[in-house]
Amino acid sequence: MTALALIFAGIAALLHVLFFKLESLDWRKPKTWKTFGLASQADADTTASLAFNQGFYNLFLAIGTAVGIGLVALTDDRDTIGWTLIVFACGSMLAAAIVLISSGGKGYARAAAIQGVPALLAVATSLVAAS
């Protein structure tokens, strides 16, 4: 179960690194802002500082998850700190997906699933593996 938990956590972390790239580095590119449903370059320019900040939140969650994965993989798989980091960071990813779907409705269902399903699977399998 440990390997499965680490794989799901790794997927969740990699997705959040991608979100960081999109939100913090590529936000003003037409392909990116269209992906996020913005109507114009002016809208992208107006929201760029918000997206930049949000991207870093995603990066920090990915880093926390990666450190947790490293601690569990490189030490005893009962490493409490590693599992705590994974569950906290992936739980935060899952909570953000729940906020997204609850505030944005069906229009954000796909985005919430992409963000939340790997995190949910990581949390569930980590709790089993760590017990």
The angle formed by the CA atoms of residues 68, 109 and 20, to the nearest 5 degrees, is 40
pLDDT of residue 4 exceeding 80, the answer is yes
Q: What is the pLDDT of residues 15-50, one digit of tens each?
A: 999 999 999 999 999 999 998 888 999 999 999 999
Side chain identity, residue 68: G
What domain range includes position 31? 2-130
* Cβ contact 114:15 at 8 Å: yes
Number of H helices, E strands in the chain: 5, 0
Tell me the two tokens of residue 99: 């906020």
Can you tell me the mean pLDDT for 84-105? Answer: 94
Lowest mean pLDDT among 50-54, 60-64, 72-76: 72-76
Q: How confident is the model at residue 12 (pLDDT cuts 50, 70, 90)?
A: very high
Tell me the two tokens of residue 29: 């590119």
How many structural domains does the chain have? Answer: 1
